[in-house]
Structure 1
Amino acid sequence: MPPLMTLSGVFTLRILAVAALIAALLVALQAGAAPRELSTELKQADKALAAHEYALAYKAYARVAARNPLAQFNLGLIEREGWGRARNPAAACAWFGKAAQGNIPAAHQFFGDCLADGIGQAADGKAAEAWYRKAAQAGIVYALCSAGQMYIRGQVVGKDVEHGLGLCAQAAQAGSAPAMLRIADYYKDGTEVPQNLAAARYWYQQAAENRDHLAQYRLGVMLGQGEGGDANPALALSWLEHAAAEGYAPAYLPVAILYANSAPDPATGALTPASLAKIYMWNSAARATTNNAATLAEIKRIAQLVNQVMPAEWKPALDRRVAEHLGRFSAN
């Protein structure tokens, strides 16, 4: 079976979703950043929010917001994300400011964003940095990257790329995988800092080793294409399959392609049965998780080629494995 395609043109870079950042900040908050009594009276409101009963949740949080900064923070999230209502960034920032004054660490981070961007009040870089540093001191070390971004862009503070990278590096060195990913993106993109592909590859690996799926994906891309160092298809496949195995859908098709381009069995000159099965399964998973017409056309072409050489009796068992994998991650 000949190689199906090269790696170039099939990878797309994805930015970290806002929801993922919110989840990371809430983990820090729930780990002890807020007194237990603040959350005790919010159980019903939290239950309504989890059930997407946003109007009910908003009313329940608002009833206790005057005395509960955690309720203020959650009201800010509802306003910011537009859950059950139109997005209102200014109202969100007003709530985040109150929650920050009430010593909610996640609010320190978000209120810093408000001040950096001038949402609902005049932009104030010094105040934003102070809140970012307070968030970092409370355990949300990624906030240092947000402070660093202001310096890298020269946003409401004097432009100082080296200082900005240094702030983000502090967060990365403290173990923040999102900070590692952020530095890697800066070096990879080469738009806001001088491009350094070797440094990008290094930082993607640090984040990948901390189980950041996007970093595993991007590291796999660089290894496969020989960016920032020698190409290493075997290691590229390893990292991409790590991400795919944990439900990171953009990695499905690249994994199928790398298996298709793997070394044939020396005894037969054909792909091994294991490789054929992997191509079929990851290609099937990719088909189930994309609506992109060009990607679907490529998936169809791969399926046609695999079907020419793979025994049809394999399909039921392989299809069950694909369904089981997708079922584990369908809620993500």
Structure 2
Amino acid sequence: MSFQLRREEILDASGLAAMLEESPARAAQAILLAAGEGEVEAQALLGQILLDGRGIAQDPPLALRWFGIAAGREHLMARNMLGRCHEQGWGCVADASVAASHYRIAAESGLDWAMYNLANLLATGRGVAVDQRQALALYRRAAEAGHAKSMNLLGRYLEEGQFCPQDRATARDWYRRSAEGGDFRGQFSHAAVLADAGHVEEALGWLRKALVGGNVNFLRVASESLMNAQHPQFRELADAYRLRLSELVAL
């Protein structure tokens, strides 16, 4: 495959993302060129591949710089990623209060991921004062915008009646929407609802989906929950969760 790219290909941000799937190294060259040409989507994408080390040497401090350049040009996801870098200490000293300020800017401009990230800080009091009601409002806004992770958390607030009237029927609907949206925690929550209603086979299907997408922390907690489940099929599935957990920990 030729590495020669037409100018219009270099400046086609949507094409760059697709190219990353086909050839990360080739895509990285194109992204570098497009970022240098001033293409803001490419600048944000360059920050991401530098952060991930995808097709290019991993360099979190340089990723932070490119996120800053794109954020300065009002790229909302780059602004959100500046927040993530400051929250996690990627390329800088971790500072949740700085992260919150970046999330807030992007959230106020309508970015669902920023709403979710800011809500997480507000719910736990990291970098900001604890404000569960504001966190709930942000989760609700993000969920209504189609953010699957926020759908699951909104469902949790509604199921437990935390800082809002208890509404288990609506909570179950949000769990279902979260599961269908691809969130592994939403898939686990939806499976629990289905199991309680006696739909064991359907619940098992969602639990298997959650197994594939789940991260280390989720798999650790979920496997313990499944070990104590009423249905023997769920207890058997706990072994698969523990196996997947051990694989991820070993990476």
TM-score normalised per structure 2: 0.62
Distance 1:70 1:50 in 2: 17
2:83 partner letter:
G
Q: Tell me, which stretches of 5 or more residues in structure 1 are unaligned?
A: 1-36, 225-230, 262-282, 295-332
Aligned to 1:57: 27
| 1:1-332 to 2 correspondences below 5 Å | 40-42=11-13, 45-46=16-17, 48-51=19-22, 53-66=23-36, 67-121=38-92, 128-184=99-155, 203=171, 205-209=173-177, 211-213=180-182, 214=184, 215-224=186-195, 231-234=196-199, 237-238=201-202, 240-241=204-205, 243=206, 248=209, 250=211
More helix by share: 2
Query: Which segment drifts farther, 94-103 or 208-217?
Result: 208-217
Distance 1:240 1:59 in 2: 44
Quick one: higher RCO (CA 8 Å, sep 6+), 1 or 2?
A: 1
Aligned to 2:215: none
Distance 2:241 2:89 in 1: 37
8 Å CA contact 1:39, 1:70 repeated in 2: no
8 Å CA contact 1:77, 1:92 repeated in 2: yes
Q: Name the SS of the counterpart of 1:49 in structure 2.
A: helix
Aligned to 1:29: none
Aligned to 1:301: none
Q: Name the SS of the counterpart of 1:103 in structure 2.
A: coil
The alignment-based identity, stated in percent, is 24
Query: Displacement of 1:147 after TM fit?
Result: 0.6
Q: 1:147 to 1:259 in 2, by over 3 A?
A: closer
2:151 partner letter:
M
Q: Tell me, which stretches of 5 or more residues in structure 2 are unaligned?
A: 1-7, 213-225, 245-251
Distance 1:170 1:81 in 2: 29
TM-score normalised per structure 1: 0.49
Query: Displacement of 1:141 after TM fit?
Result: 1.8
Query: Displacement of 1:142 after TM fit?
Result: 3.3
Query: Displacement of 1:79 after TM fit?
Result: 1.4
Distance 2:96 2:145 in 1: 23
Distance 2:210 2:96 in 1: 38
Distance 1:201 1:80 in 2: 41
Structure with larger Rg: 1
Distance 2:189 2:126 in 1: 28
8 Å CA contact 1:144, 1:171 repeated in 2: yes
Q: 1:122 to 1:240 in 2, by over 3 A?
A: same
Query: Displacement of 1:222 after TM fit?
Result: 4.3
